[in-house]
């Protein structure tokens, strides 16, 4: 049903070659994902040297490490067995303290037939996981992360001029890299934080070089703010998968959510997360949407790509330049923001009431 669109994704977005190996992963959160996995597999089988696929049991939260079966399919049984013998594998899955160098050395020594391209569309995101990081950073894998993906996206935010999206995303990322501070104003939001010394990352949708990764649909530029720097208030209308019954407001102090105002049931969910994972409170990401065909506000994968929006995430950011390691990462979109960004001796109006000023 989506063969033409899947083929375009492989050839244009991923630059998949006939000599390369392809791994497809998803979970069983939504019934349609298994059907989509089969379509991706069938199309990929005609384009790649080999294709593997895994559908695993839903993990229930964004940012959790994929389960053991995915690691075994990716790196081989021997590599995982050695990690387990060294007492490292469970620490990786649980995002506990471990030596990244030691884990990487074991994987490099024992991994077999690692894919060149990974297309990951489980409902719950793998973007901010060590699994993704080790594949892209240490094995040069090109990685498309598609959490919350819905097939209708093939006709909207996936049907764009990717060269233009890439150009705009890279320009915004350069501004983020140069910046030292960000000041945000929007309805119910007055918020500031530091990005000094951190690297802006463009999510271009063109994953052609070794180690390239990002979302599909793509179209954003993002950065990891300094974890203790956020101060102010942020009001949101949408949670990660639905419109809230009423707006809720985060109050930030010393980089973390100090309190939440509002009565939507989502508040109680977050309070339980914070009790379980204290580090989930901290600011993790600042992003700017750059995709002109992204429209749907009720799907965070698409919503955070809407050109002229911004998003703020809390939780894990250690895989893209931050220092916070926690099994939780969730983004919240702010509409029609005015964003001022600056450094020593300069400042720039990046967005004015939702209009990107480049």
Q: Between the CA atoms of 228, 239, 221 and 186, what dihedral angle is there, to the nearest 10 degrees?
A: -80
| Counts of helices then strands in the chain (DSSP H, E) | 11, 18
Same domain, 166 and 285: yes
User: Tens of pLDDT along 237-294?
Assistant: 998 778 899 999 999 999 999 999 999 999 999 999 999 999 999 999 999 999 999 9
Domain membership flag for residue 154: no
3-state secondary structure of 75: helix
Any bridge partners for residue 202, and if so which? 221
The whole-angstrom separation of Cα 205 and Cα 15 is 11
Q: Indicate whether 226 and 184 sit together in one domain.
A: yes
222 with 305, same domain?
A: yes
Q: What is the pLDDT of residue 332?
A: 95
Structural domain boundaries enclosing 103: 3-149
Does 233 fall in a domain?
yes
Could you give phi then psi for residue 118, rounded to 5 degrees? -120, 130
**Are 136 and 170 within one domain?**
no
- 145 and 173 inside one domain: no
Q: Where are the beta strands (DSSP E) in the chain?
A: 21-27, 50-56, 117-120, 142-145, 181-186, 189-194, 201-203, 213-215, 220-223, 231-238, 243-253, 256-261, 283-289, 310-315, 329-334, 338-343, 346-352, 355-356
Q: What is the mean pLDDT of the chain?
A: 96
CA distances (Å), origin 201, targets 99, 102, 144, 222: 25, 27, 15, 5
> Residue 241 gets which letter from DSSP?
S
Assigned token pair, 188: 């119910």
Identify whether residues 204 and 344 lie together within a single domain: yes
Contact 147, 124 (CB under 8 A): yes
- Degrees to nearest 5, angle at CA 230 with 227 and 235: 125
Give the residue from 119, 149, 179 where a domain finishes. 149
Of 124, 149, 174, at which residue does a domain stop?
149
230 and 130 in one domain?
Answer: no
Residue 315 makes CB contacts below 8 A (sequence gap 6+) with 63, 128, 277, 279, 280, 282, 284, 324, 326, 328, 329, 330
Q: What is the pLDDT of residue 253?
A: 98
DSSP 136-181: IIIH--EEEE-TT--GGGGGTTTSS-HHHHHHHHHHHHHHHHH-SE
Instruction: Answer whether residue 155 is part of any domain.
Output: no
pLDDT value of position 33: 97
333: region left, alpha or beta (phi > 0 left; psi from -120 to 50 alpha):
beta
Total domains present in the chain = 2
Q: How far apart are CA 280 and CA 285, in angstroms?
A: 12
**Residue 47 domain-assigned (yes or no):** yes
pLDDT in tens, 135-187: 999 999 999 999 999 999 999 999 999 999 999 999 999 999 999 999 999 99
Do residues 226 and 255 touch, judged by C-beta distance below 8 A? yes
User: Rounded CA gap, 80 and 241, in Å?
Assistant: 33
Examine the domain organization and report whether 52 and 109 are in the same domain.
Answer: yes
Same domain, 94 and 200: no
Mean pLDDT computed over 302-321: 95
Residues 104 and 244 in one domain: no
* C-alpha–C-alpha distance, residues 107 and 101, integer Å: 10
Same domain, 133 and 179: no
Q: Are 294 and 306 in contact (CB under 8 A)?
A: yes
Reported as a single tens digit per residue, the pLDDT across 2-46 is: 999 999 999 999 999 999 999 999 999 999 999 999 999 999 999
R_g of the chain, CA atoms, integer Å: 20
* Spatial distance between the Cα atoms of 335 and 305, rounded to a whole number of angstroms: 11
Among candidate residues 128, 149, 170, the one where a domain is terminated: 149
59-112 residue pLDDT tens: 998 889 999 999 999 999 999 999 999 999 999 999 888 899 999 999 999 999
Residues 252 and 130 in one domain: no
Reported as a single tens digit per residue, the pLDDT across 321-342 is 999 999 899 999 999 999 999 9
């Amino acid at each position: 049903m989506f063969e033409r669109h899947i083929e375009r994704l492989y050839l244009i977005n991923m630059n998949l070659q006939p000599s390369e190996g392809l791994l497809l992963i998803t979970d069983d959160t939504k019934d349609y994902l298994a059907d989509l996995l089969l379509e991706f597999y069938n199309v990929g089988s005609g384009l790649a040297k080999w294709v593997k696929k895994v559908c695993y049991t839903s993990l229930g939260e964004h940012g959790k490490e994929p389960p053991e079966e995915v690691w075994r399919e990716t790196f081989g049984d021997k590599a995982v067995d050695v990690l387990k013998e060294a007492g490292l594998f469970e620490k990786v899955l649980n995002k506990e303290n471990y030596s990244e160098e030691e884990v990487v050395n074991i994987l490099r020594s024992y991994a077999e037939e690692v894919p060149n391209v990974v297309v990951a569309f489980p409902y719950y995101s793998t973007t901010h996981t060590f699994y993704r990081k080790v594949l892209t950073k240490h094995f040069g894998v090109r990685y498309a992360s598609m959490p919350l993906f819905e097939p209708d996206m093939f006709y909207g935010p996936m049907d764009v001029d990717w060269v233009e999206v890439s150009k705009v995303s890279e320009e915004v990322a350069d501004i983020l890299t140069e910046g030292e501070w960000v000041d945000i104003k929007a309805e119910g939001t007055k918020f500031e934080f530091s990005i000094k010394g951190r690297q802006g990352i463009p999510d271009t949708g063109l994953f052609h070089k070794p180690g390239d990764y990002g979302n599909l649909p793509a179209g954003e530029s993002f950065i990891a703010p300094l974890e203790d720097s956020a101060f102010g208030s942020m009001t949101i209308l949408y949670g990660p998968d639905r419109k809230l019954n009423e707006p809720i407001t985060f109050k930030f102090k010393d980089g973390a959510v100090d309190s939440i105002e509002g009565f939507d049931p989502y508040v109680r969910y977050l309070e339980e997360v914070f009790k379980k994972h204290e580090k989930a409170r901290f600011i993790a990401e600042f992003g700017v949407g750059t995709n002109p065909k992204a429209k749907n506000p009720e799907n965070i994968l698409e919503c955070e790509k809407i050109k002229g929006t911004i998003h703020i995430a809390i939780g894990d950011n250690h895989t893209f330049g931050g220092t916070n390691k926690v099994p939780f990462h969730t983004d919240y979109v702010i509409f029609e923001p005015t964003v001022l960004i600056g450094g020593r001796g300069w400042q720039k109006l990046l967005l004015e009431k939702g209009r990107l000023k480049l």
